[in-house]
C-alpha cells in the first residue's frame, strides 16, 4: 500500500511549496494611500494586533490570531498573503554557549513542552513527523527527554501549573540549547493573554531564540523556524513583506 | 620439608584453644580485639599448614591415641582436606577482623564471651573434621561442628524466630548426620578397622546393594548439610537468623563440609561406579540451583536472598560433581578430573564471594537500618567503599569477567558440553537438560544481583535510616576489600590455580588433566609434552594464538578436547587478558575524556522526572516490582496465595483503598518437608494409640515380642 | 426500564409526571415550548430529586452551573432526556453564608468532578464527597483563595506560596512493595500535559490516579465581563481540534438567548463544516491509535489522509482548523455550492482509501492483539459515569446529541445512523471511529448536493440579557455551554462542560487491571484532549 501511495513529502525547503491549503495565511500591512493625507481606517482586531504607525498600517504578528475579522468584516479589509516563512529570530546570538554550532547543522533533537496550548499548534507539530512534511529527512528528531534535546519547542501561554515543569525541562537540557516559541499564545499569550493563571508568553519564563507566530503556524512555518535555529536559512522580513501572492481569501 | 605441617596443626589447635579460653575470661571491652587477633593468627597458621600441603606434597599422618574397640584416632591431611582447610581459613581471616566492629552492637544484650568461645571452637572443630581420618574422630568432630554452628545460629536467642530456625537446622543436621554415619558404618562391615584408609581398600569388596545403600545414605546425609534440595528447608531460615559474620562462616565454610563429605565418601573412599548414581547427583544439583536462584530473585530480605543463593551455588557444585561421577563411571578419567576441578574451584570461589556479600549485607544492616531492600536505596552516597566491594561480590556471583565467578561458570558449562563422548542417549539428554537449567540459573543470578545492588545502593533512599547511613569503619571495609581482591585474583589467574587443584584431584581420578586444560601456547615457557599432535597445535599457532607471548601475564585458559581427527573442539578464554584489555580500554577512554574535555564545565542537575515537583521514593521502582516478572513467570513454583485482597469503597463509587497481600510458599517445604512432618505426626499418633495405658495391652505386647523372637530363633 | 419507555411515548406526560411527583416538595415550572422544566428546591431535597432523575427516569447529567450573586449562591444542575423530554434544571438557592451543599456524587456519579471543580474554584463544600481538593488548583495555590469568586480579580497574578514538603499524591494501593509510577506532566513525544500516577506492584496497573488542569487557562473566569465578540474568540480557541464545534455551541446559546434563528443555508453549512471537523478529528485519532501500537505503515497512511483533510479544509474555508467561521446568527464566510461538491468528491476518494486501510487493519493480528480486550469499559461503567461520545458508543451507550437533542440542521434529520458497539475494548472504539467517519462523509455528501440557497447570517440583532444552554455533538461527544448575559450585554456567567472532561473521569475504568505497556495504547484509543478538558 505504501508503494502505491508514492512520495508525498513536500520539497520545501529546497523549493517553495505551492500546493493549496498548506497555510492559513496572514494579513499583511499596507502603506496607506496618502493622496489627501487621509489616514485609512484601522480594521477591528480583537487581539489588538493592527496598529497605525506613521504612514502605514502594520500587523504585530506575535499577536495576530488569524481570526479573519480584518479581511472579512472590515470596511477596508487588509491585504492577505499566503506565505509561510514566518519565523523571527529573537536574540542576537552573541552568547557562545547558546550558539548551536556546526555539529548541529545536520542533526538536532527536539523536545516539545506543552505549556497550555489549545492543541491546534500541537496537531501541526505532530504533522511535522508525518509523511507530508517529514522533518527526519532534514535531520530533526523528537526525543522524549530534555536531557538529549538540543532545541526546546514551547507552545502555549505558560499556564501557572506548567511554569515549573517548563522551567525544569529547560534546566535539564545541556548547553548549547535553544528555545523556539511556537504560536501566538507562546509569544503574547494569545486570546487568553496574561492573567491570573497564565504568564502570557514563554519569554517570561525562559529565554526564547526563535519565535514562530501564527494561530496555528502551519508545519511549513515550523520547518522554516527549525532551519533558522539550525543556522540554515534567512528569516522572514517583518514590516513590509515582499509580495509572494496577494489574493483575497 | 622445612615446614612441619604437623606442628603447624598443633599450633593452630593450641591457638584456637587459647582464643576460647581468653574469650571466656576477658572482660567485654577487650573481648572483640582478642577475638580478632587470636582468630586471625589461627587462620594464618591454618593457611600456612594447608598451603604447604597443597603446594609441596602430602602431609602429616598422625596416629594419636588408641581407643579400645574403636581403633586408632587417625588424623591425616591429604590434599583434599588441605584445599578445604585453605578455603576455610581464607574465609575466617577477614570475618574475624570484621567481627571486631560488628559484634559491638550485641554488647550488653547478648554474651560476647559465649560468642568468642563458640567461634574459636567452631574453627577448631571444622579443621578437625577435615583432617579426621577415621570414623570415630570424624563423627565426633562433625557433631561438635554441628552443635557449635547451631549455637552460633541461636545466638540471638530472645527472638522466637531465631530459636525456631536454629532448632530446625539442628534437627535436620542430626538427621543428616545419622544418615552419613550409617553410610560409613555399612562400609565398616567389610573392612578391618575404622580408619578411612582401610575403608578405602575394602570398599571394592562391597556388594551392589551395599554400594547403593552407601551412596544414597551418604549423599542424602551430606546433602542436607550442604543445603541441597530437598534438604534445604533449614538454610533460608538459619542463615539470616545468625549474626552477620556468623552467616558468612555458615555460608562460606559449613556448607562446604557437606561437599567435603560427598567428595570424601563418593569420590575417595568408595568411588561411584554406576552412572545412574552420578545422574542422581547431577539432577539434584541442577534442581537445587534452579530453585535456589528463583527464590533468591524474588526475595527482598538481603540475607535470605544470599542464603537462597548459597543453595544455588551448592547446586552448581553438586551438578559438576555429578558430571564428574558420570564421566568417571563411563571411563573418561580426564573429563572426570576436569569436572571435579571445576567443582572444587567453584566451591572456593563461592566461599570467597559469598563471605564478601554477607559481610557487605551485615555492614548495611548495622549502618543503614535493616536488610529489607524495599527500605534501602541510595547507599552508595554514604557508604561508597561498602558499595564498591559489594559490587565486586555481585559481579563475581553473577559470573562476569574478570572476576572468579566467570571462570567456574564458564568451565561448568563447558564441562557439561563434553557429554558428546558418552554413549548412553539418556545420559546425554540429561546432560543437555541440566546444562540448560544451569544456563537459566546463570541468567537469573544476574537478575537477582542487579536487583540486590541497585535496590540497595543506587537510586533514592526509601527510608530515613538509609538516607543518613554512614560508611562502616576500616575494620569492616578492609576485610571486604581483602575478599574483593581475592575474588579478582582468583578470576584473573585461573591457570595458576587449576594446577594446584588438579593435584588435589589427581589421586581421585588417577590422572592429571592440566595439560588438556592449558596448552603451551599463550605461555612463555617452552612447550611441554602434551598429548596433542604437533599439527593440531600448529594450527593454532597460525591463528595467532601466540600473540602476546612473553609480554602479557599469565596463560590463557583453554579447554582443549580433541574429539576426532576431523573435528577438534577447542574452547579458549583468557581472563587475565580480559582484565588487561578492559583496563586499557577504560583507562584510555578516561584519559581521552579528561584531555579533550578539560575545558568544558560540568553541570549537575537532578534527574529528569517528567516535570514533577519532587520525585518521592514511592515513585521509584521497588525491589518487589523489579522481580515481579520472574514471580509471574514461575508462578507454578511459587504458588502464591492471595491472603487479602480488599477494596474499600465509599459511597458506592469512590475507591479509597485497595489492599493486596500475598504470601508465597517455599516449594521445598511444601513438597518435601511438610509430607514428612505429616507422616511422622501420623506415625506418632499411631504410636500414641499403642500407649493405651491398659495392663492387658502391654501384656499382649510382651507376648507378641516373645513369640517373634522364638520364631526368629527357630528359623536361624 | 419500563417507565422509560412509557415516558418517551407520551412527552406531555413527562412534564406532568415530574410535576406530579415533585410538586409538593419543590417548586416546579415548565416551559413547554422550549421543553425546559425548572425544579427549584431546598438543598435537603436535592439528592432525592437528582437520584430520581438519574435512576428512575434515565435522564442524563449534563453539567453543574454555579453562579455567585451578591447575596446568594445559585446552583443549577442540568439534566436532559431526549428531544421529547427536553432539559430538566434543578435549581438550589443558598444564602451567601451557607457554603455547604449535599453531594449528589453517590447517586449521580457523573457529577463527581463537577463538584470537585466547584469546590476548588468557588470554595463550596459538598457534604458527603470523599475526595475534595487538589483538582483544578494544585498544591502551590494558597488556601482559601477561590478564583471564580466575584471578589477575585482575574487580571492580577496570584501570589505563590511555599509547597508543604510533606505533600504527597493520594495513595490508594496498600500492598508491600507497591509503588507509584509517575507519568509526569511532560512525557512522550507529542502528548499534552497531564499527570498520571500508576499504582502497581510490578506488572499490572492496579489503580491510576490522574491529575489534570495543568493547562487551566481560566476560560470561565476570563469570560466574565467581556463582550460576546471576545468570548466567541475564546470559546473557539480553548480547544483547537474541536474549535468549530465549541464555537457553534456558543453561538447557539447566544442565538437562544436573543431569540434568533440563522438562515437555512447557514444551518446547513454549519452542519457540513461540523461533520468535516469530526471527520478530520477521527482520522487523526485513528492515526494516533496506529502510532501508539507502532504500526508504522498504517500510521503513515492515515496521517497522509489527515493532512489532506487539513488542506481541503483550508482550501474551503481559509483556515486548516476552521477558526473564525462561526458568528452568532450564522457564518462569517459563504461557501459556494461548487466548492462544497468538490469537497464531497474529494472526501469520497479519501474514504475509499480509508476503507482499504480498515480492511488491512482487520487482518493485522499483531495490531489487533494489542487493541482487542484491552482497556475495557463496561456498559454499566459508561452509564454510571455518564460517558459520552465514541467511547460511550463503544460500550453500548449511544448518546448522540444530533439524535437526542437535535440542533440546527439536524432537526430535519439527514439520513445517518450512529454506530454502536458493545465490547467496550480498544478495538470497539476503533470500529466506532471508522463508522463515524463513514457517516460523516455521507452527511457531507447529502448536504453538499442539496444546499438551500439564501443568506448566511441573520439580520443584525441586539444582545439582550438572558440565559440559555447551547449544546453540540463535538467530535469527542456531547458538549454543553451555558451562557448567562447580563444587563450590560456582557457575559455574566459562562460555563463549559466539554466531552473530554466527562470522559477523562471514566478513563481510570479502562486503565486499571492492565499492564504498563497497554497504558499508552488505552490512552490513544480514548483520543481525549486535555486542552478541551482543562479549559
Q: Does position B497 have pLDDT exceeding 90, yes or no?
A: no
Comparison of pLDDT for C118 and B422, the residue scoring more: C118
C-beta neighbour count of B583 within 10 angstroms: 11
Preferred mutation among C135, C162, C202, C207 to probe B, highest tally of B CBs within 10 A: C202
Residue of C nearest to B657 (CA): C172
Residues of C in contact with A68 (CB under 8 A): 318-319, 323-324, 332-333
User: Residue B421: its pLDDT value, please?
Assistant: 76
Measured CA to CA, the distance from residue B401 to residue B420 in angstroms comes to 27
Domain stops at, among B634, B662, B689: B634
- Is B586 a domain residue? yes
Reply yes or no on whether the pLDDT at A245 is more than 50: no
Residues from A in contact with B at Cβ < 8 Å: 145-147, 162, 164-166, 168-169, 171-172, 174-175
Q: Helices B28-56 and B112-131, interaxial angle, to 10°? A: 10
Q: Is the pLDDT of residue C449 over 80?
A: yes
CA–CA separation, B352 and B94 (whole Å): 10
Residue B566 burial by CB count (10 A; 0-12/13-18/19+): exposed, middle or buried? exposed
Residue B654 forms beta bridges with which residues?
A: B650
pLDDT digits (tens, 9 = 90+) for A85-115: 888 888 766 666 667 777 777 889 999 999 9
How far is residue B577 from each of residues B342, B408, B573, measured CA to CA in Å? 21, 17, 9
> For residue C74, what are the β-bridge partners?
C67, C93
Q: Could you identify the residue written with the cell 454499566?
A: C380
| Pairing mode of beta strands C87-95, C36-41 | parallel
Q: Do B562 and B422 share a domain, yes or no? A: yes
What's the rounded Cα separation, in Å, for the pair B217 and B183? 5
Cell triple for B542: 597460525
A123 with C284: CB under 8 angstroms?
yes
The per-residue pLDDT for range B564-581, each reduced to its tens digit, is 444 455 556 677 777 888
Question: How far apart are alpha carbons B5 and B18 in whole angstroms?
Answer: 20
pLDDT greater at residue B664 or residue B398: B398
The answer to whether residue A184 sits within a structural domain is: yes
Question: What is the rounded average pLDDT of the residues B358-387?
Answer: 88
Residue range A139-143: mean pLDDT, rounded: 91
What chain C holds in terms of domains, given with CATH numbers, is: 2-127 (3.30.460.80), 179-211 (no CATH), 262-462+500-534 (1.10.645.10)
Query: Is C106 within 8 Å of B653 when comparing Cβ atoms?
Result: yes
Q: What whole-number distance in Å separates Cα of residue C35 and Cα of residue C59? A: 14
Q: Which among A67, A131, A165 has the least Cβ separation from residue C323?
A: A67
Q: Outline where DSSP puts E strands in B527-678.
A: 557-561, 569-573, 641-650, 654-663
Q: Is A114 on the interface with C (CB under 8 A)?
A: yes
Q: Does A38 map to a domain?
A: no
Residue with cell 540448560: B436
The values of phi and psi at residue B279, to 5°, are -65, -40
Q: How far is CA A129 from CA A124, A173, A230, in A?
A: 10, 22, 17
**Chain C residues whose beta carbon lies within 8 Å of the beta carbon of residue B618:** 168, 171, 179-180
Q: Lowest mean pLDDT of B122-126, B363-367, B622-626, B656-660, name the range.
A: B656-660
Backbone φ and ψ of B714, nearest 5°: -65, -35
User: B touches which chains (3+ CB pairs under 8 A)?
Assistant: A, C
Q: Looking at CA atoms only, how far is residue B617 from chain C in angstroms?
A: 9
What pLDDT, on a 0 to 100 scale, did the predictor assign at position B569?
Answer: 52
pLDDT of residue B526: 45
Q: Tell whether A196 is covered by a domain.
A: yes
Same domain for B577 and B475 = yes
The C-alpha cell of C2 is what? 419500563
Instruction: Name, of A11-15, B5-9, B129-133, B306-310, the range with top average pLDDT.
Output: B306-310
pLDDT tens profile C300-351 = 999 999 999 999 999 988 899 999 899 998 898 888 888 888 899 999 999 9
Name the least confident of A55-69, B78-92, C319-333: A55-69
Question: Which is nearest to B416 in space by CA: B427, B402, B405, B404?
Answer: B427
Domain coverage including residue B489: 283-595+628-634
Q: At what angle do helices B28-56 and B5-25 cross, to 10 degrees?
A: 170
Question: For residue B157, is it within any domain?
Answer: no
Tell me chain C's radius of gyration from C-alpha atoms.
23
Chain B residue nearest residue A175, CA to CA: B603
B101 in any annotated domain: no
Per-residue model confidence (pLDDT) at position B524: 42
CB contact (8 A) between residue C179 and residue B613: no
| Nearest partner of B252 among B117, B98, B110, judged by Cα | B98
Q: Does B619 touch chain C (CB under 8 A)?
A: yes
Q: Rounded to whole angstroms, how far apart are CA atoms C215 and C507? A: 18
B613 and chain A in contact, CB less than 8 A: yes
Most confident range, picked from B287-296, B576-585, C402-411: B287-296
Q: Which residues of chain C have a CB within 8 Å of the CB of B625?
A: 177-179, 200-202
Number of domains in chain B: 2
> Does the pLDDT of residue B543 top 60, yes or no?
no
C85: three-class secondary structure by DSSP:
coil
Does the pLDDT at position A13 exceed 80?
Answer: no
Enumerate the residues of chain A whose CB falls inside 8 A of the CB of residue C229: 46
Query: Which of B605, B612, B613 shows the shortest C-beta gap to A171?
Result: B605
**Number of domains making up chain A:** 1
- Asked whether the beta carbons of B397 and B342 are under 8 A apart, the reply is no
pLDDT band at C1 (very low <50, low <70, confident <90, very high): very low
pLDDT tops 90 at residue A58: no
* Partner residue facing B655 (CB), from C128, C139, C172: C172
Q: Check residue B506 and give its pLDDT.
A: 81
- Please determine, for residue B318, whether its predicted confidence score (pLDDT) is greater than 90: yes
Q: Which residue of C has its CA nearest to B644?
A: C175
pLDDT of residue A35: 42
- Given an 8 Å threshold on Cβ–Cβ distance, is C314 in contact with A21? yes
Quickly state the pLDDT bin for B434 (edges 50, 70, 90). very high
Chain A CB contacts of B612 below 8 Å: 165
From B603, B611, B613, residue closest to A169, measured CB to CB: B611
Question: Are B686 and B582 in the same domain?
Answer: no
Is A224 within a domain? Answer: yes
Q: Does A39 touch chain C (CB under 8 A)?
A: no
Tell whether B529 is covered by a domain.
yes
Provide the pLDDT for residue B642: 58
Does B664 map to a domain?
no
Q: Best residue in C141, C148, C193, C362 to probe A by mutation, most A CBs within 10 Å?
A: C193
- Using CA atoms, how far apart are residues C158 and C138, in angstroms rounded to an integer? 13
**Does the distance separating the beta carbons of B628 and C201 come in below 8 Å?**
yes
For residue B712, give Cα distances in angstroms to B655, B698, B702: 77, 21, 16
Please tell me which residue of chain C has the smallest CA distance to A24. Answer: C319
Over residues C277-298, the pLDDT tens digits come to: 999 999 999 999 999 998 888 9
d(CA C182, CA C168): 12
Beta bridge partners of C66: C75
pLDDT band of B398, cuts 50, 70, 90: very high
Query: Which of B584, B605, B634 marks a domain boundary?
Result: B634
- Comparing alpha-carbon positions, the chain C residue that sits nearest to A134 is C300
Instruction: Report residue A36's pLDDT band, with 50, 70 and 90 as the boundaries.
Output: very low
As for the ipTM of the complex, it is 0.87
Mean pLDDT taken over chain C: 86
Whether residue B436 is found in the same domain as residue B572? yes
In a domain, B647, yes or no: no
Q: What average pLDDT does chain B have?
A: 83
Residue B145 counted as domain residue: no
- For residue B495, the model assigns a pLDDT of 75
- What percentage of chain B has pLDDT greater than the value 90? 31
Residue B283 CA, chain-centre distance (Å), reads 18
The secondary structure of residue C515, as a DSSP letter, is B
C347 CB-near residues (< 8 Å, 6+ apart): C279, C309, C312, C441, C444, C445
B66-76 pLDDT, tens per residue? 666 666 777 88
Give the pLDDT band of residue B223 (cuts 50, 70, 90): very high
pLDDT at res. C497: 93
By CA distance, what is A67's nearest residue in C? C324
d(C-alpha C535, C-alpha A225), whole Å: 28
Using the 3D structure, point to which of B634, B657, B684 is the last residue of a domain: B634
Burial pattern B81-96, b for ≥16 Cβ within 10 A else e, equals: bbbbbbbbbbbbbbbb
Q: What is the DSSP string of B352-380?
A: HHHHHHHHHHHHHHHHHT-SBGGG---HH
Any bridge partners for residue C490, and if so which? C227
CB contact under 8 A, B603 and A174: yes
pLDDT digits (tens, 9 = 90+) for C469-506: 999 999 999 999 999 998 888 899 999 999 999 999 98
Interface probe for C, chosen from A7, A66, A120 (most Cβ of C below 10 Å), is: A120
Q: Which three cell numbers stand for residue A134?
A: 517529514
Query: Looking at the DSSP assignment, which residues form a beta bridge with residue C478?
Result: C473
| Residue pair C218/C121 in contact by the 8 Å Cβ criterion | no
Residue B1's pLDDT is 47
CATH number, residue A189: 3.40.50.12280
- Whether residue B465 is found in the same domain as residue B587: yes
Tens of pLDDT, residue by residue over B163-213, are 988 998 998 999 999 999 998 888 887 777 788 888 888 877 778 888 888
A221 falls within a domain: yes
Print the domain residue range for A225.
88-229
Query: What percent of chain B has pLDDT above 70?
Result: 87
- Contact criterion met (CB < 8 Å) for B628 and C163: no
Asked if pLDDT for residue A244 goes beyond 60, the answer is: no
pLDDT tier for residue B546 given thresholds of 50, 70 and 90: low
User: Touching check for B603 and chain A: CB below 8 Å?
Assistant: yes
Distance from CA of B638 to the nearest CA of C (A): 16
Query: Has residue B199 been placed in a domain?
Result: no
Q: What is the mean pLDDT of residues B241-270?
A: 90
Looking at CA atoms only, how far is residue B613 from chain A in angstroms? 7
Strand C491-497 and strand C477-485: pairing? Answer: antiparallel
Q: B683 and B584, same structural domain?
A: no
Amino acid at each position: 500500500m505504501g508503494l502505491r501511495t508514492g512520495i508525498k513529502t513536500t520539497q520545501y525547503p529546497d523549493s517553495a511549496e505551492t500546493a493549496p491549503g498548506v497555510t492559513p495565511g496572514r494579513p499583511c500591512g499596507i502603506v496607506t494611500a496618502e493622496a489627501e493625507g487621509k489616514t485609512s481606517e484601522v480594521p477591528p482586531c480583537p487581539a489588538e494586533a493592527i496598529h497605525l504607525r506613521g504612514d502605514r498600517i502594520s500587523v504585530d504578528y506575535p499577536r495576530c490570531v488569524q481570526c479573519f475579522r480584518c479581511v472579512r468584516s472590515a470596511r477596508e479589509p487588509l491585504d492577505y498573503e499566503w506565505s509561510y516563512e514566518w519565523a523571527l529570530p529573537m536574540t542576537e546570538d552573541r552568547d557562545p554557549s547558546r550558539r548551536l554550532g556546526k555539529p548541529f547543522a545536520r542533526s538536532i533533537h527536539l523536545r516539545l513542552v506543552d505549556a497550555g496550548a489549545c492543541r491546534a499548534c500541537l496537531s501541526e507539530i505532530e504533522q511535522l513527523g508525518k509523511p507530508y512534511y517529514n522533518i527526519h529527512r532534514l535531520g530533526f528528531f523528537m526525543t522524549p527527554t530534555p536531557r538529549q534535546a538540543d532545541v526546546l519547542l514551547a507552545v502555549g501561554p505558560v499556564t501557572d501549573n506548567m511554569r515549573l515543569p517548563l522551567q525544569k525541562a529547560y534546566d535539564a537540557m545541556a548547553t548549547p540549547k535553544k528555545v523556539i516559541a511556537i504560536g501566538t499564545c507562546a509569544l503574547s499569550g494569545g486570546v487568553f493573554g496574561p492573567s491570573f493563571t497564565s504568564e502570557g508568553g514563554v519569554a517570561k519564563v525562559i529565554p526564547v531564540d526563535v519565535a514562530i507566530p501564527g494561530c496555528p503556524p502551519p508545519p511549513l512555518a515550523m520547518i522554516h523556524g527549525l532551519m533558522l535555529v539550525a543556522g540554515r536559512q534567512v528569516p522572514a522580513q517583518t514590516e513590509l513583506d515582499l509580495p509572494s501572492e496577494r489574493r483575497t481569501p | 620439608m622445612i615446614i612441619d605441617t604437623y606442628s603447624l596443626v598443633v599450633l593452630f589447635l593450641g591457638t584456637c584453644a587459647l582464643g576460647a579460653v581468653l574469650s571466656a575470661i576477658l572482660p567485654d571491652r577487650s573481648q572483640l580485639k582478642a577475638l580478632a587477633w587470636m582468630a586471625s593468627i589461627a587462620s594464618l597458621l591454618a593457611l600456612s599448614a594447608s598451603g604447604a600441603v597443597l603446594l609441596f606434597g602430602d602431609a602429616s599422618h598422625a596416629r594419636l591415641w588408641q581407643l579400645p574397640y574403636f581403633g586408632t584416632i587417625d588424623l591425616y591431611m591429604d590434599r583434599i582436606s588441605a584445599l578445604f582447610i585453605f578455603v576455610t581459613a581464607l574465609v575466617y581471616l577477614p570475618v574475624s577482623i570484621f567481627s571486631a566492629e560488628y559484634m559491638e552492637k550485641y554488647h550488653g544484650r547478648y554474651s560476647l564471651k559465649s560468642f568468642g568461645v563458640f567461634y574459636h571452637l567452631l574453627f577448631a572443630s571444622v579443621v578437625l573434621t577435615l583432617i579426621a581420618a577415621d570414623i570415630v574422630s570424624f563423627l565426633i568432630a562433625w557433631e561438635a561442628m554441628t552443635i557449635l554452628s547451631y549455637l552460633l545460629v541461636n545466638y540471638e536467642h530472645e527472638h522466637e524466630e531465631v530459636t525456631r530456625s536454629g532448632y530446625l537446622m539442628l534437627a535436620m543436621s542430626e538427621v543428616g548426620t545419622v544418615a552419613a554415619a550409617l553410610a560409613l558404618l555399612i562400609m565398616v562391615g567389610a573392612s578391618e578397622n575404622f580408619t578411612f584408609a582401610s575403608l578405602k581398600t575394602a570398599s571394592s569388596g562391597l556388594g551392589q546393594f551395599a554400594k547403593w545403600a552407601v551412596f544414597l545414605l551418604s549423599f542424602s546425609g551430606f546433602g542436607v548439610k550442604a543445603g541441597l534440595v530437598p534438604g534445604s528447608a533449614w538454610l533460608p531460615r538459619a542463615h539470616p537468623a545468625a549474626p552477620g559474620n556468623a552467616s558468612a562462616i555458615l555460608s562460606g565454610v559449613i556448607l562446604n563440609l557437606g561437599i567435603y563429605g560427598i567428595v570424601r565418601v563418593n569420590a575417595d573412599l568408595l568411588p561411584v561406579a554406576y552412572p545412574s548414581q552420578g545422574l542422581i547427583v547431577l539432577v539434584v544439583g541442577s534442581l537445587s540451583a534452579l530453585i535456589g536462584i528463583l527464590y533468591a530473585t524474588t526475595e527482598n530480605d538481603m540475607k535470605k536472598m544470599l542464603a537462597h543463593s548459597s543453595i544455588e551455588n551448592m547446586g552448581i557444585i553438586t551438578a559438576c560433581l555429578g558430571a564428574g561421577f558420570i564421566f568417571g563411571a563411563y571411563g573418561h578419567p580426564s573429563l572426570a578430573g576436569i569436572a571435579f576441578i571445576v567443582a572444587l574451584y567453584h566451591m572456593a570461589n563461592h566461599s570467597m564471594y559469598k563471605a564478601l556479600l554477607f559481610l557487605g549485607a551485615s555492614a548495611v544492616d548495622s549502618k543503614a537500618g535493616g536488610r529489607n531492600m524495599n527500605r534501602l536505596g541510595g547507599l552508595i552516597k554514604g557508604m561508597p567503599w561498602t558499595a564498591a566491594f559489594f559490587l565486586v561480590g555481585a559481579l563475581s556471583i553473577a559470573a562476569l569477567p574478570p572476576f572468579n565467578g566467570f571462570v567456574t561458570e564458564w568451565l561448568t558449562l563447558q564441562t557439561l558440553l563434553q557429554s558428546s563422548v558418552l554413549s548412553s542417549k539418556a545420559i546425554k539428554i540429561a546432560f543437555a537438560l541440566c546444562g540448560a537449567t544451569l544456563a537459566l540459573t546463570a541468567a537469573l543470578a544476574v537478575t537477582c544481583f542487579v536487583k540486590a545492588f541497585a535496590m540497595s545502593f543506587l537510586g533514592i533512599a526509601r527510608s530515613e535510616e538509609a538516607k543518613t547511613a554512614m560508611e562502616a569503619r576500616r575494620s569492616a571495609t578492609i576485610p571486604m576489600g581483602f575478599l574483593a581482591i581475592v575474588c579478582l585474583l582468583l578470576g584473573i589467574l585461573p591457570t595458576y590455580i587449576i594446577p594446584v587443584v588438579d593435584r588435589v584431584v589427581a589421586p581421585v581420578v588417577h590422572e592429571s588433566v592440566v595439560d588438556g586444560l592449558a596448552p603451551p601456547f599463550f605461555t612463555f615457557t617452552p612447550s611441554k609434552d602434551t598429548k596433542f599432535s604437533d599439527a593440531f597445535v600448529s594450527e593454532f599457532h597460525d591463528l595467532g594464538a601466540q600473540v602476546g607471548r612473553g609480554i602479557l601475564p599469565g596463560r590463557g585458559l583453554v579447554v582443549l578436547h580433541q574429539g576426532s581427527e576431523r573435528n577438534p573442539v577447542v574452547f579458549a578464554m583468557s581472563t587475565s587478558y580480559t582484565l588487561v584489555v578492559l583496563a586499557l580500554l577504560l583507562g584510555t577512554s578516561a584519559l581521552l575524556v579528561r584531555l579533550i574535555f578539560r575545558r568544558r564545565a560540568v553541570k549537575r542537575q537532578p534527574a529528569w522526572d517528567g516535570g514533577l515537583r519532587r520525585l518521592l521514593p514511592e515513585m521509584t521502582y521497588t525491589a518487589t516490582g523489579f522481580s515481579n516478572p520472574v514471580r509471574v513467570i514461575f508462578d507454578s513454583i511459587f504458588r502464591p496465595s492471595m491472603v487479602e485482597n480488599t477494596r474499600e469503597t465509599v459511597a458506592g463509587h469512590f475507591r479509597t483503598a485497595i489492599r493486596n497481600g500475598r504470601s508465597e510458599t517455599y516449594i521445598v517445604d511444601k513438597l518435601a518437608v511438610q509430607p514428612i512432618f505429616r507422616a511422622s505426626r501420623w506415625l506418632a499418633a499411631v504410636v500414641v494409640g499403642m500407649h493405651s495405658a491398659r495392663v492387658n495391652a502391654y501384656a499382649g505386647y510382651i507376648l507378641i515380642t516373645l513369640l517373634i523372637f522364638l520364631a526368629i530363633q527357630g528359623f536361624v | 426500564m419500563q417507565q422509560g419507555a412509557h415516558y418517551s411515548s407520551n412527552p406531555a406526560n413527562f412534564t406532568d409526571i415530574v410535576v406530579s411527583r415533585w410538586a409538593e416538595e419543590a417548586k416546579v415550572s415548565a416551559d413547554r415550548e422550549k421543553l425546559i422544566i425548572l425544579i427549584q428546591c431546598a438543598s435537603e431535597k436535592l439528592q432525592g430529586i437528582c437520584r430520581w432523575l438519574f435512576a428512575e427516569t434515565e435522564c442524563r447529567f449534563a453539567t453543574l452551573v454555579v453562579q455567585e450573586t451578591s447575596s446568594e449562591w445559585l446552583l443549577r444542575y442540568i439534566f436532559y432526556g431526549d428531544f421529547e423530554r427536553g432539559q430538566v434544571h434543578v435549581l438550589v438557592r443558598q444564602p451567601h453564608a451557607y457554603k455547604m451543599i449535599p453531594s449528589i456524587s453517590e447517586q449521580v456519579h457523573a457529577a463527581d468532578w463537577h463538584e470537585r471543580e466547584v469546590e476548588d474554584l468557588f470554595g463550596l463544600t459538598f457534604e458527603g464527597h470523599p475526595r475534595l481538593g487538589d483538582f483544578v488548583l494544585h498544591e502551590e495555590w494558597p488556601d482559601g483563595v477561590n478564583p471564580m469568586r466575584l471578589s477575585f480579580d482575574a487580571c492580577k497574578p496570584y501570589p505563590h506560596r511555599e509547597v508543604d514538603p510533606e505533600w504527597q499524591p493520594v495513595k490508594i494501593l496498600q500492598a508491600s512493595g507497591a509503588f507509584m509510577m509517575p507519568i509526569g506532566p511532560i512525557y512522550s513525544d507529542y502528548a499534552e500535559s497531564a499527570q498520571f500516577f500508576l499504582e502497581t506492584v510490578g506488572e499490572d496497573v492496579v489503580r491510576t490516579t490522574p491529575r489534570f488542569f495543568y493547562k487551566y487557562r481560566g476560560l470561565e473566569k476570563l469570560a466574565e465581563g467581556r463582550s460576546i465578540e471576545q468570548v466567541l474568540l475564546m470559546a473557539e480557541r480553548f480547544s483547537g481540534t474541536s474549535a468549530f464545534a465549541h464555537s457553534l455551541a456558543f453561538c447557539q446559546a447566544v442565538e437562544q438567548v436573543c431569540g434568533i434563528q440563522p438562515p437555512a443555508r447557514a444551518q446547513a453549512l454549519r452542519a457540513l463544516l461540523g461533520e468535516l471537523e469530526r471527520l478530520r478529528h477521527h482520522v487523526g485519532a485513528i492515526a494516533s491509535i496506529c502510532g501508539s501500537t507502532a504500526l508504522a505503515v498504517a500510521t503513515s497512511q492515515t496521517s497522509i489522509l489527515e493532512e489532506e483533510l487539513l488542506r481541503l479544509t483550508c482550501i474551503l474555508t481559509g483556515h486548516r482548523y476552521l477558526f473564525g467561521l462561526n458568528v452568532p446568527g450564522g457564518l462569517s464566510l459563504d461557501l459556494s455550492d461548487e466548492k462544497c461538491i468538490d469537497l464531497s468528491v474529494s472526501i469520497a476518494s479519501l474514504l475509499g482509501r480509508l476503507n482499504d486501510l480498515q480492511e488491512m487493519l482487520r487482518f493485522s493480528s499483531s495490531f489487533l492483539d494489542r487493541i482487542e480486550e484491552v482497556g475495557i469499559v463496561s456498559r454499566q461503567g459508561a452509564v454510571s459515569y455518564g460517558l459520552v461520545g465514541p467511547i460511550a458508543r463503544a460500550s453500548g451507550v449511544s448518546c448522540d446529541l444530533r439524535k437526542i437533542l437535535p440542533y440546527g440542521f439536524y432537526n430535519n434529520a439527514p439520513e445517518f445512523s450512529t454506530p454502536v458497539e458493545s465490547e467496550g475494548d480498544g478495538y470497539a472504539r476503533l470500529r466506532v471511529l471508522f463508522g463515524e467517519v463513514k457517516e460523516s462523509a455521507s452527511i457531507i455528501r447529502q448536504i453538499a448536493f442539496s444546499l438551500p440557497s439564501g443568506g448566511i447570517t441573520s439580520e443584525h440583532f441586539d444582545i439582550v440579557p438572558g440565559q440559555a444552554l447551547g449544546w453540540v455533538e463535538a467530535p469527542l461527544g456531547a458538549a454543553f455551554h451555558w451562557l448567562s448575559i447580563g444587563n450590560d450585554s456582557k457575559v455574566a456567567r459562562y460555563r463549559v462542560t466539554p466531552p473530554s472532561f466527562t470522559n477523562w473521569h471514566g478513563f481510570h475504568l479502562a486503565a486499571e487491571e492492565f499492564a504498563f505497556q497497554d497504558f499508552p495504547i488505552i490512552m490513544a484509543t480514548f483520543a481525549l484532549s486535555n486542552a478541551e478538558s482543562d479549559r
